[in-house]
Amino acid sequence: MKKVLGLLCIIFITLTVFLVWKQNKSEPKNPYLEKGYTEEEVRKIETLNEANQSYLLETDYQSNILEYLSATDFKEENLKEYIRLGLLYGLSIEDTMYIVNHQYNDIETYDAKTVAFMHEPYYIHEYLERYLNYSNNHQDFETSSVITNVNSNLDYAFYTQDYTVDLDKRYLILVNKYYKLSSDYVPDNLVTIEAKYGKSLSLESTVYEQYKLMWNAAKQEGLNLYICSPYRSYSTQLGLYNNYVAQDGKVAADTYSARAGYSEHQTGLAFDVITPTSTLATFQYTKEFEWIKVHAHEYGFILRYPEGKEYLTGYVYEPWHYRYVGVDVATKIYETGLTYEEYYAYYVR
């Protein structure tokens, strides 16, 4: 009897071992599990397309794969590049995904300063080398200041870069100490200003219509605006600037007067405004100025050379100088406190 029981035990054990062996043979282990991935990671991987699944099988175990696949900004088409860039430069998951998603992954190396620039809201990728050079020469500047200054071309001296004004931008053209108009440029649709609105000189027609709306709104509040200097031709600006140079010298003249071709007045989109009884020097002390600096954007105008931004605009504070850019743009500039140099670099150019 004992022999029979022993034989039965041997048969049972043998059969059990065989069945386990057969089950393991018929159901091979998941290849991702064999590679070292956890069941949670495998579940995420199996949601990927076939190409990415194959890629992960062909490469070494990625210990941070779950962080990539669970991230809010994850883009499946960028998976291979996330892994390549992260491994190559030892970047964090956040930095790697940000760089790849914004297509900043085309340079040779990444350090903390480079990555910091890339995270700035107004970063322009093609300016990276300029940012780095400017930063090296101004090591006490914050990253945001470097971005602002380079975007405004301050890494170049004034009047050293003659960029051609992009006239296709129409009401959003930029004319300053880097962007120049040709000597024969005359704006289209110039009209003559009626005497009650200012000197009987010229202004672009749309700008004039918007100015009249603003003038009427101010008038209803008992205020009187008066344009004293609208459109100026190249030759007029040349004579004006040369007179200032003769009077105060070139260095001083450059702080308050534009050289010929670099003046906004030649666009027909800008004007100097005062009251019938004030001057440029006294306008900022009038009720009209207090009103216009708050309401000008409602009619599409910006205070072009604001106080405290002289290093960006290249000109002293001019409370009398207004420029037409359209209501939407003027409102954004008014609300953000940007100069037009900054706005043009960020949103127009």
The CA-atom distances, in angstroms, between 176 and each of 79, 132, 296, 298 are 44, 24, 21, 24
Structural domain contains residue 325 = yes
Structural domain contains residue 295 = yes
267, 261 contact by CB (below 8 A):
no
CA atoms of 297 and 299, how far apart (whole Å): 5
Q: What is the pTM of this model?
A: 0.79
Structural domain contains residue 117 = no
Furthest C-alpha separation in the chain? 130
Q: CA dihedral in degrees (344, 346, 347, 348; nearest 10)?
A: 40
Structural domain contains residue 306 = yes
> In the prediction, which pLDDT does 24 show?
52
> In the prediction, which pLDDT does 121 show?
87
The domain of 280 spans 163-348
Structural domain contains residue 324 = yes
Q: Torsions phi, psi of 285, nearest 5? A: -100, 5
> In the prediction, which pLDDT does 90 show?
87
The CA-atom distances, in angstroms, between 130 and each of 125, 137, 165, 344 are 10, 11, 21, 18
> In the prediction, which pLDDT does 9 show?
53
Tokens of 125: 């990728």
Structural domain contains residue 95 = no
The pLDDT profile of the chain, 349 residues, written as one tens digit per residue, is: 555 555 545 655 565 555 555 555 545 578 989 888 999 999 999 999 999 999 999 999 999 999 999 999 999 999 999 999 988 888 999 999 999 999 999 998 999 999 999 999 889 999 999 999 999 999 999 999 999 999 999 999 999 998 999 999 999 999 999 999 999 999 999 999 999 999 999 999 999 999 999 999 999 999 999 999 999 999 999 999 999 999 999 999 999 999 999 999 999 999 999 999 999 999 999 999 999 999 999 999 999 999 999 999 999 999 999 999 999 999 999 999 999 999 998 898 7
Among candidate residues 98, 33, 44, 95, the one with its CA nearest the CA of residue 66: 44
> 3-class DSSP state for residue 161?
coil
Helices (H) and strands (E) in the chain, counts: 17, 8
> In the prediction, which pLDDT does 282 show?
98
> In the prediction, which pLDDT does 289 show?
98
Count: domains in the chain: 2
> In the prediction, which pLDDT does 12 show?
54
With residue 164 as reference, give the H or E element that holds it: strand 163-164
CA atoms of 312 and 306, how far apart (whole Å): 10
Structural domain contains residue 288 = yes
Structural domain contains residue 339 = yes
